[in-house]
Amino acid sequence: MSFFAVLFALIIEQVRPLARGNWIHATFRSWARWSRRSLDAGKIQHGWLAWAVAVVAPSLVTLLIHWLLWEVNPLLAFLWSVAILYVTLGFRQFSHYFTDIRDALDDGDETSARELLAQWRQVDASELPRSEIVRHVIEYSVLAAHRHVFGVLGWFSVLAALGLGPAGAVFYRMAEFVMAEFVSRYWVYKSKTPGEGASPALQTAAARAWGVIDFVPARVTSLGFAVVGSFEDAIDAWRHYNQRFAASDAAASGNRNDGVILAATSGAVNVQLGGVPLKARRSPASLGELTAGLDIDGLGEPGAAVDAEPTEATPGRQPELAHLRSIVGLVWRSVVLWMVLLALLTLARLLG
């Protein structure tokens, strides 16, 4: 039944996407912040406790409700899975910025494209050339697609096969949401206000947990991109990235999972990714200015940009507008691929 739950959730999400200010995402955000305020006392054990309460507790509640509904009627448990997937999985939770930027570039309005990118990521994009706008949009969009769709799909499918219902979808999205909220977006913005912000212990716990949780999904997503794109080039770019990562200082602290996805994407569509990162906006007049235009209601959208060192660019063509269309095709072909695989697994279970 997992296949049908995912299929119905995707269809409903396309027809009637959740509003950006919806109460469900606001509740998740409030729960995570309550966990930080109540349990984050600054020590490493407190950081892990706050993370566990923020992430594991909602997953267990989801599982408990699934089991109770299953005992009453399996159809109710199925509808519960669809509802959870509708909240946690889908393109429409992040794709509006991608579409607006692509349309602006298609109309030749690079100024609007820069403004939209700056609003989306809360960065300084005022001097970006056209190719760099396209590059950053590709990078952010691919990672968002992984975190909103493929990662959720992977965790949901595995745990649902073990009889745990939609708990995997909640677990993955809450882990990503907490990582973004405490390590990047929440820390970058809220820590500018005295008395706010996650402690270093909680940031460390959230980042380490996310690195483990996303390790396999990131590679599954990368493999999917390779299969539906240029397989040999994607695998070659992936291999070269691993070699560069292992030989660099980033091996101790860098986000290797995101790098693997971007490397595979680069080879799959023959586009150059990586290079000089965008800089976070500085010295805002107020917290309201900082959060203006930021999708703070999105459940775990990749966090706001922070200053980082330049990375080595991958081989490939300079990013062009046509690459945005290629990325859309790549992502949708990957969705079809994994939906077919999920359908086959569901059929095998039914026949077995």
d(CA 144, CA 142): 5
Amino acid 294: pLDDT: 33
Amino acid 331: pLDDT: 95
d(CA 144, CA 151): 10
Q: Which of 277, 271, 273 is nearest to 323 (CA)?
A: 271
Burial class of 124 by CB neighbour count within 10 A (0 to 12, 13 to 18, 19+): middle
Q: Which of 14, 9, 3 is nearest to 87 (CA)?
A: 9
| Statement: residue 246 has pLDDT above 50 | yes
Mean pLDDT, rounded, for 80-107: 90
Mean pLDDT, rounded, for 209-238: 95
Q: Which of 157-166, 168-177, 196-205 comes out lowest in average pLDDT?
A: 196-205
Q: How confident is the model at residue 291 (pLDDT cuts 50, 70, 90)?
A: very low
Q: Which residues of 251-287 are buried (b: 16+ CB within 10 A; e: fewer)?
A: eeebbbbbbbbbbbbbbbbbbbbbeebbebbeeeeee
Q: Using CA of residue 180, residue 185, residue 188, residue 192, what is the dihedral sign?
A: negative
Tokens 């907490």 belong to which residue? Answer: 178
Please state, rounded to an integer, the average pLDDT across all residues of the chain: 84
Mean pLDDT, rounded, for 155-176: 94
pLDDT in tens, 29-71: 889 889 999 998 889 999 999 999 999 999 999 999 999 999 9
Q: Which of 205, 207, 178 is nearest to 43 (CA)?
A: 205
Q: How do the domains of the chain map onto residue ranges?
A: 2-351
The CA R_g of the chain, rounded to the nearest whole Å, is 20
d(CA 298, CA 3): 25
d(CA 31, CA 27): 6
Q: In 3-state terms, what secondary structure has residue 280?
A: strand
d(CA 53, CA 333): 36
| Statement: residue 287 has pLDDT above 80 | no
pLDDT in tens, 99-151: 999 999 999 999 999 999 988 887 778 888 999 999 999 999 999 999 999 99
Q: Which two tokens stand for residue 69?
A: 């509904």
Q: Where are the alpha helices (DSSP H) in the chain?
A: 2-15, 23-39, 44-72, 74-88, 95-106, 110-121, 130-145, 151-161, 167-179, 185-190, 200-213, 215-228, 231-246, 256-269, 287-291, 321-351
Q: How confident is the model at residue 216 (pLDDT cuts 50, 70, 90)?
A: very high
d(CA 334, CA 324): 15
Q: In 3-state terms, what secondary structure has residue 92?
A: coil
Q: Which of 92-101, 178-187, 201-210 comes out lowest in average pLDDT?
A: 178-187
Q: What angle do CA 330, 296, 259 make, to 5 degrees?
A: 40
DSSP letter (8 states) at residue 316 = S
